[in-house]
Amino acid sequence: MKPIRRQRLLLAVTFWLALVSNALPAQIMTMRVSGFCKCEICCGPHACGITASGRPAVGKLIAAPRNFRFGTMIEVPGYGVAPVLDRGGKIKGRRLDLLFASHAAAKKWGVRFLKVKIRKVRNT
Protein backbone atom coordinates (compact mmCIF):
# COMPACT_ATOMS: atom_id res chain seq x y z
CA MET A 1 0.00 0.00 0.00
CA LYS A 2 1.28 3.47 -0.82
CA PRO A 3 1.97 5.63 2.22
CA ILE A 4 -0.54 8.30 1.13
CA ARG A 5 -3.34 5.75 0.79
CA ARG A 6 -2.53 4.31 4.18
CA GLN A 7 -2.69 7.77 5.68
CA ARG A 8 -6.07 8.39 4.09
CA LEU A 9 -7.38 5.08 5.36
CA LEU A 10 -6.15 5.88 8.83
CA LEU A 11 -7.84 9.26 8.65
CA ALA A 12 -11.11 7.64 7.55
CA VAL A 13 -10.95 5.10 10.37
CA THR A 14 -10.19 7.81 12.94
CA PHE A 15 -13.08 9.89 11.67
CA TRP A 16 -15.44 6.90 11.76
CA LEU A 17 -14.35 6.00 15.28
CA ALA A 18 -14.93 9.57 16.42
CA LEU A 19 -18.44 9.45 14.98
CA VAL A 20 -19.23 6.11 16.58
CA SER A 21 -17.81 7.04 19.99
CA ASN A 22 -19.89 10.22 19.90
CA ALA A 23 -23.06 8.31 19.14
CA LEU A 24 -22.44 5.35 21.43
CA PRO A 25 -22.97 6.74 24.94
CA ALA A 26 -26.66 7.39 24.20
CA GLN A 27 -28.81 6.14 27.02
CA ILE A 28 -32.56 5.74 27.04
CA MET A 29 -34.39 6.68 30.19
CA THR A 30 -38.02 7.23 31.11
CA MET A 31 -38.40 10.65 32.68
CA ARG A 32 -41.08 13.02 33.88
CA VAL A 33 -40.92 15.85 31.39
CA SER A 34 -42.60 19.16 32.13
CA GLY A 35 -42.50 22.50 30.34
CA PHE A 36 -41.60 26.01 31.45
CA CYS A 37 -41.01 29.48 30.06
CA LYS A 38 -39.03 32.42 31.39
CA CYS A 39 -42.03 34.13 33.03
CA GLU A 40 -42.50 34.86 36.74
CA ILE A 41 -45.01 32.05 37.17
CA CYS A 42 -42.46 29.50 35.98
CA CYS A 43 -39.23 30.99 37.32
CA GLY A 44 -40.35 33.06 40.31
CA PRO A 45 -40.36 36.82 40.91
CA HIS A 46 -36.65 37.07 40.10
CA ALA A 47 -37.01 35.60 36.63
CA CYS A 48 -34.51 37.38 34.42
CA GLY A 49 -34.27 35.13 31.40
CA ILE A 50 -30.81 33.82 32.21
CA THR A 51 -30.34 30.09 32.76
CA ALA A 52 -28.19 28.47 35.47
CA SER A 53 -25.47 27.91 32.86
CA GLY A 54 -25.32 31.64 32.18
CA ARG A 55 -26.86 31.34 28.73
CA PRO A 56 -29.99 33.35 27.93
CA ALA A 57 -33.26 31.42 28.04
CA VAL A 58 -33.96 31.38 24.32
CA GLY A 59 -34.73 28.64 21.84
CA LYS A 60 -34.82 25.02 22.87
CA LEU A 61 -33.06 24.05 26.08
CA ILE A 62 -33.57 21.75 29.00
CA ALA A 63 -33.39 22.08 32.78
CA ALA A 64 -32.08 18.85 34.27
CA PRO A 65 -30.76 17.58 37.62
CA ARG A 66 -27.13 18.19 38.56
CA ASN A 67 -25.96 14.78 37.38
CA PHE A 68 -26.58 16.02 33.83
CA ARG A 69 -23.61 18.14 32.86
CA PHE A 70 -24.36 21.40 31.01
CA GLY A 71 -24.12 20.72 27.30
CA THR A 72 -25.47 17.18 27.53
CA MET A 73 -27.76 16.68 24.55
CA ILE A 74 -31.12 15.05 25.22
CA GLU A 75 -33.57 13.90 22.60
CA VAL A 76 -37.16 14.32 23.78
CA PRO A 77 -39.96 12.91 21.60
CA GLY A 78 -42.24 15.75 20.53
CA TYR A 79 -39.67 18.44 21.44
CA GLY A 80 -36.48 17.47 19.63
CA VAL A 81 -32.82 17.42 20.56
CA ALA A 82 -31.76 20.15 22.98
CA PRO A 83 -28.88 20.86 25.37
CA VAL A 84 -29.07 20.82 29.16
CA LEU A 85 -28.40 24.44 30.13
CA ASP A 86 -30.52 25.01 33.21
CA ARG A 87 -31.38 23.68 36.66
CA GLY A 88 -34.54 23.91 38.71
CA GLY A 89 -35.48 23.59 42.36
CA LYS A 90 -37.99 20.86 41.60
CA ILE A 91 -35.90 19.27 38.87
CA LYS A 92 -34.44 16.35 40.76
CA GLY A 93 -34.20 12.64 40.09
CA ARG A 94 -35.81 11.59 36.85
CA ARG A 95 -37.22 14.95 35.90
CA LEU A 96 -36.67 17.32 33.03
CA ASP A 97 -38.09 20.76 32.30
CA LEU A 98 -38.25 22.00 28.72
CA LEU A 99 -38.05 25.67 27.78
CA PHE A 100 -40.89 27.01 25.65
CA ALA A 101 -41.23 30.45 24.08
CA SER A 102 -44.49 31.24 25.86
CA HIS A 103 -46.30 30.27 29.01
CA ALA A 104 -49.22 28.99 26.93
CA ALA A 105 -46.92 26.66 25.01
CA ALA A 106 -45.36 25.36 28.25
CA LYS A 107 -48.81 24.76 29.75
CA LYS A 108 -49.94 23.04 26.59
CA TRP A 109 -47.02 20.61 26.86
CA GLY A 110 -48.11 19.80 30.44
CA VAL A 111 -46.38 16.86 32.08
CA ARG A 112 -45.42 13.80 30.10
CA PHE A 113 -43.68 10.59 30.99
CA LEU A 114 -41.39 9.91 28.07
CA LYS A 115 -38.48 7.77 27.02
CA VAL A 116 -35.72 10.25 26.33
CA LYS A 117 -32.35 9.64 24.72
CA ILE A 118 -29.37 11.04 26.59
CA ARG A 119 -26.08 11.75 24.89
CA LYS A 120 -23.36 12.41 27.41
CA VAL A 121 -20.75 14.96 26.51
CA ARG A 122 -17.10 14.30 27.02
CA ASN A 123 -15.33 15.91 29.96
CA THR A 124 -13.47 18.92 28.65
Q: Which is nearer to Zn ion, 103 or 112 (by Cβ)?
A: 103
Residue among 31, 42, 85, 96 that touches Zn ion (CB under 5 A) = 42
CB of 34 to Zn ion, least distance (A): 11
Q: Which is nearer to Zn ion, 3 or 44 (by Cβ)?
A: 44
- How crowded is the C-beta side of 15, counted as CA atoms within 13 Å? 6
CB of 50 to Zn ion, least distance (A): 15
Tell me which stretch binds Zn ion (CB under 5 A): 6-14, 39-47, 78-86, 87-95. Answer: 39-47
Count interface residues toward Zn ion (CB under 5 A): 5
- Sorted by sequence, the CB contacts under 8 Å of residue 72 that are 6+ apart come out as 64, 83, 84, 118, 119, 120, 121
Q: Does 111 bind Zn ion (CB under 5 A)?
A: no
Tell me which stretch binds Zn ion (CB under 5 A): 11-19, 57-65, 75-83, 102-110. Answer: 102-110
Residue among 33, 37, 64, 91 that touches Zn ion (CB under 5 A) = 37
Task: Please say whether the beta carbons of 98 and 76 come within 8 A.
Answer: yes
Contact residues: Zn ion, CB under 5 A: 37, 39, 41-42, 103
